[in-house]
């Protein structure tokens, strides 16, 4: 019920709003586009387009909007990373290694404490190991961030050295080469 209602409202509303906006421009091309959109709106209102086709058109518009939003977010993240690499402040440039050292130190201290606790109190070993296992989600996030940081820094260094970023074809070729070597 709701998807059908949205399908009937989405595209017609966009056509109506875009047409009204184009009419206000006082331009021959905009006037022609507004007339065409009024015609499309009339066809949509009269039921000249199947609801399934209208629903598919609305889904496509929503998908394109989400795609543009994701592209914008990715551009912003990349711009931030580029600004970090060009920064004059040493800490801004070195937050990734600092994070790596902090994660390594925390991991080593935790593992040493767990090993000591298991050896010193063997009867409590199951509870200690269960408690350590409950930290796996936290460590998963920290190590994932560290992995992305290391990968991106390696990519940044390769690009700075003039090596082109590998495209999809280069990655596929590398995978095929690995399989042939096995």
Q: Are residues 98 and 16 in the same domain?
A: no
Where in the sequence is the domain holding 137, given as residue range(s)? 89-181
Q: Decide if 84 is inside a domain.
A: no
Q: Are residues 66 and 133 in the same domain?
A: no
Domain end among 76, 99, 114: 76
Q: Which of 47, 103, 90, 83 is nearest to 156 (CA)?
A: 83
What is the pTM (predicted TM-score) of this model?
0.41
| DSSP 8-class letter at 167 | -
pLDDT tens per residue across span 122-152: 999 999 999 999 998 899 898 888 888 777 7
**Inter-residue contact 97 to 143 (CB < 8 Å):** no
């Amino acid at each position: 019920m709701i998807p059908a209602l949205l399908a009937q409202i989405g595209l017609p509303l966009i056509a109506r709003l875009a047409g009204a906006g184009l009419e206000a421009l006082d331009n021959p091309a905009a006037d022609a586009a507004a007339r065409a959109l009024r015609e499309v709106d009339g066809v949509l209102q009269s039921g000249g387009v199947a609801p399934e086709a209208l629903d598919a058109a609305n889904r496509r518009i929503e998908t394109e909007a989400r795609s543009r939003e994701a592209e914008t977010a990715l551009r912003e993240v990349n711009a931030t990373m580029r600004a970090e690499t060009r920064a004059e402040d040493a800490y801004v440039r070195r937050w990734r290694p600092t994070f790596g050292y902090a994660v390594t130190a925390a991991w080593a201290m935790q593992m040493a404490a767990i090993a000591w606790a298991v050896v010193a109190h063997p009867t409590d070993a199951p509870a200690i190991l269960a408690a350590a296992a409950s930290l796996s989600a936290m460590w998963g996030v920290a190590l994932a961030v560290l992995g992305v940081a290391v990968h991106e820094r390696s990519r940044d260094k390769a690009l700075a050295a003039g090596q082109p970023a590998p495209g999809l074809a280069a990655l596929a070729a590398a995978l095929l080469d690995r399989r042939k070597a096995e």
